[in-house]
Amino acid sequence: MARRPPATNEVPERILDVDVSSEMRDSFLEYAYSVIYSRALPDARDGLKPVQRRILFQMAQMGLRPDRGHVKSARVVGDVMGRLHPHGDSAIYDALVRMAQPFAMRLPMIDGQGNFGDLDSGPAAMRYTEARLAQPAMRMTESLDEDVIDFRPNYDGREIEPDVLPAAIPNLLVNGAAGIAVGMATNMAPHNLGEVVAAARHLLTDPSASLDDLMRFIPGPDLPSGGRIVGLDGIREAYATGRGSFRVRATAKIEPGQRGKHTITVTELPYNVGPERVVERVKDLIDSKKIQGLAGKPDDLTDMDTAGLQLVFEVKAGFSPEAVLEQLYKLTPMEDSFAINAVALVNGRPRTLGLKELLEVFLDHRITVTRRRTNFRLGKARDRLHLVDGLLIAVLNIDEVIAVIRSSDDAAQARERLMTIFDLTELQANHILDMPLRRLTRFSQIELEKERDELRRTIEGLEAILATDASLRAVVSEELAAVALELGTPRRTVLLADAGLPVFATAAAAASAQIEMPDAPTWVLLSSTGQLARTTDELPPTSDGPRGSHDVVVSSAPATTRGDVLLITDRGRAVRTSVLDLPSLPTTSGAPSLAGGVQVSELAALESGERVIAVAPARTDGPGLALGTTRGVVKRVRPDDVPMRADSWSLIALDPGDLVCGAVWLPTGNEDLVFVSSDAQLLRFSANAVRPQGRSAGGMVGVKLAGGQSAVAFSAVAASDERALVITIAGSTAALPGTVPGSAKVTPLAVYPAKGRATGGVRVQKFRSGEDTLTLAWVGLGPARAAGPTGQPVELPDVDERRDATGLPPSGPVAAVGGAAAPVWA
């Protein structure tokens, strides 16, 4: 068959020879850059990947604020995909879901409604779920319309999108990140917002701060699921180099069961580990007989998740529950490792960053945002002041202005004549011509003068912010503090220096080892965040020692290694616990770190709302325990009235609504008892004025309180000890607790005279304007150390020798104060 000749209008073929290796290299580099920069790695400034940033930006543009209703997730995904992120709806929805999961992010950015999945199962389809921005996302996107960041064209050039969000939250550290790029990956652990903000504020004031200084505020990650981090060396390595690892253990407590058995109840699992995964693994181990000591068949394992996570394992009689728990840690996902690889984009390039570098990049970004926002507001205020000055000229010369306008042929001539006669600019003249007649009243003149004065004060304040770097940094620090107060939550993850005591194979071996362990003197410590630990330091640790932590000791008791201590609660109960159940802190040259403690809720069965306020020795000799209540009742409990076999018992018969506000063991009985009331009155009287009573007694009047007032502190101090201090924090009953620092006063106890029991006190602090109550008080041996709601250190003012004076603002809200760990034992 003859071939058809080529058409005359066809373009002749052109074949270019290309080197395959060169083409592969160029194409691979282009693809790798696209993945690294546009998809997989977060920006170190706002801690977001591009898809996350686009979701938050688009939702802010859609007005999906927390005070408005939810919308279908499919609508959000569609808008994001059509306008900003052309990579498919599944990637967008996956990112949206993760930002709504409280077990995935320490501070969720999306408020989701519907089934957003859990650790063992995925979410419902986007057409079934609904979403809106959470409050933290509002902080990430605020001031977008004030020229604080740069925008760039979207993928098709029809829209614009932000290069980075303003990010008032250190999101990369708080929420962490995970992503796999080409040739590199990132994996960062979440942290506590209050701790990160405290470290950032410290770095603002001291840019030369060392890593150890910063780790005083950020001792380690704070995972959304809680758990216990075992071993802190890898964390410090990660903070120093950007690479490191640590182990996370489930939180479990051992409880006595029936017929000599014990149960192991797991309430928290490692980060990203679901309960079904643990249960299935345990069932496999029991079937294969690789785990010993668990009673029941695989189907008998209980997952009671109606009130939070509860995995219950029953231990066979004769087996040590500690040994079984250790097997669970070793063979199941109840212990997992987390490898930190802190890779993020800095100026468009991937870098491995340590803790200080991460904070520095975020703070540099916030300083830039604050400067640009201040410049924008300053320009707006100056422009408005310029127009207001012109309007005032017109109002003050209204008859002449009207005459000029009426005698002009057109608006252009009127504008020129106004500019010439009244020395106005073109903007002012145009604004006067556009001025409505209703502005020609005397009241409008008063309004304009008031607005002018306000604008001048605003401009002066904005110029002061831009005048020095220190003032700019102060604004950034204040805004970070406000974010921490608004969004901060207590620490969830317990940090342990090591795994704790050795685990024995059987109960008999454990008992034998307990007998062999020397019954050495030890100190049991209670921290302000509810952690318990023991230490073998010879001297009671003081609050100003190098703890390496952010916590303070609020109570302590001497004990022995094989002895018991009593946990005293605000409901007037004593709960016995074994000292051996407490983690041992390493002996140090100074005070130990309480980051290695265990939460009291893991050792004591507390009622709803009940909290442990003190620890005391379980002794049947000596003067006994002194209790003070919020209604001013004082009681000394006879030490011989302690039930030797009971695990818990009542110490005082409380009236309805009354609570114990302080509990102290008296070593001699000659101490002074001290009450501090909410209206800033202090009463000091001898403990000899209070006769010991049995457990069923209700005590006696300790301090006479004014109507509506309550006791906020009770303590006991040796009368002759010159180290005794009184610390009071004043605030307002109208303010939410922990939202404002108030004013603090530190005074020697010696300046307050002793009085009789059941009398009124003397004033300990004078309230400032707006203050009407003491929100916190403390009496003990100095030097004193304060902590915030999440345990972060708070600086107190210097000692004030005046008995009755106003306080000074501390560096932040004070939630607890600690001094010498054993105020009456020294």
Q: Output the six-digit token pair for 577.
A: 């616990």
CA trace torsion 204, 206, 207, 210 (10° rounding): -120
- CA distances to 542, 621, 626, 681, 755 from 728, rounded to whole Å, are 20, 33, 21, 10, 20
Residue in 647, 646, 633, 539 with CA at minimum distance from that of residue 587: 539
- pLDDT band of residue 781 (cuts 50, 70, 90) is confident
Q: Which amino acid is at 257?
A: G
pLDDT at 114: 95
Pick the more confident residue, 64 or 670. Answer: 64
The yes-or-no verdict on residue 107 having pLDDT over 90 is yes
pLDDT at 321: 83
CA atoms 168, 171, 172, 177: torsion sign: negative
Tokens 């470290």 found at: 199
The yes-or-no verdict on residue 700 having pLDDT over 80 is yes
Q: Which of 313-327, 452-466, 511-525, 698-712 has the lowest mean pLDDT?
A: 511-525
* Rounded Cα–Cα distance for residues 213 and 667 (Å): 37
The domains of the chain are located at 48-166, 251-333, 367-467, 517-818
Highest mean pLDDT among 54-68, 491-505, 583-597: 54-68
pLDDT at 201: 93
pLDDT above 70 coverage of the chain, percent: 86
Pick the more confident residue, 192 or 590. Answer: 192
To the question of domain 251-333 being in CATH 3.30.1360.40, the answer is yes
One fold for 251-333 and 517-818: no
Containing 513, the helix (H) or strand (E) segment is helix 507-516
pLDDT at 387: 92
Catalytic residue ranges: 128
Q: Which of 210-224, 546-560, 726-740 has the lowest mean pLDDT?
A: 546-560
Please give the average per-residue pLDDT across 558-571, as a whole number: 88
The yes-or-no verdict on residue 660 having pLDDT over 80 is yes
Rounded to 5 degrees, φ, ψ at 287 are -60, -40
C-beta neighbour count of 683 within 10 angstroms: 27
CB 121 within 8 A of CB 97: no
Among the four given CATH numbers 3.90.1200.10, 3.30.460.20, 2.60.40.10, 2.120.10.90, the one describing domain 517-818: 2.120.10.90
Q: Which fold has domain 48-166?
A: Topoisomerase II; domain 5 (3.90.199)
* Rounded Cα–Cα distance for residues 116 and 114 (Å): 6
CA 377 to chain centre: 31
The yes-or-no verdict on residue 636 having pLDDT over 60 is yes
CA trace torsion 587, 591, 596, 602 (10° rounding): 110
Residue in 338, 92, 301 with CA at minimum distance from that of residue 225: 338
Helix (H, G, I), strand (E, B) or coil at 248: strand
Taking only the tens place, the pLDDT of each residue in 128-150 is 999 999 999 999 999 999 999 99
The yes-or-no verdict on residue 538 having pLDDT over 60 is no
pLDDT at 607: 81
CB 251 within 8 A of CB 267: yes
CB 215 within 8 A of CB 195: no
- pLDDT band of residue 162 (cuts 50, 70, 90) is very high
* Rounded Cα–Cα distance for residues 615 and 556 (Å): 6
Taking only the tens place, the pLDDT of each residue in 299-311 is 455 555 445 678 8
Residue in 367, 488, 485, 472 with CA at minimum distance from that of residue 812: 485
Pick the more confident residue, 152 or 826. Answer: 152
Please give the average per-residue pLDDT across 634-658, as a whole number: 83
- pLDDT band of residue 539 (cuts 50, 70, 90) is very low
Please give the average per-residue pLDDT across 355-373, as a whole number: 96
Residue in 332, 266, 277 with CA at minimum distance from that of residue 304: 266
pLDDT at 385: 94
**367-467 falls under which CATH superfamily?**
Topoisomerase, domain 3 (1.10.268.10)
Please give the average per-residue pLDDT across 183-198, as a whole number: 91
Please give the average per-residue pLDDT across 770-793, as a whole number: 86
* Rounded Cα–Cα distance for residues 538 and 826 (Å): 12
pLDDT at 416: 92
Residue 342 CB-half CA count within 13 A: 28
Tokens 């231990």 found at: 315
Containing 411, the helix (H) or strand (E) segment is helix 411-421
Taking only the tens place, the pLDDT of each residue in 77-104 is 999 999 998 888 999 999 999 999 999 9
pLDDT at 442: 59
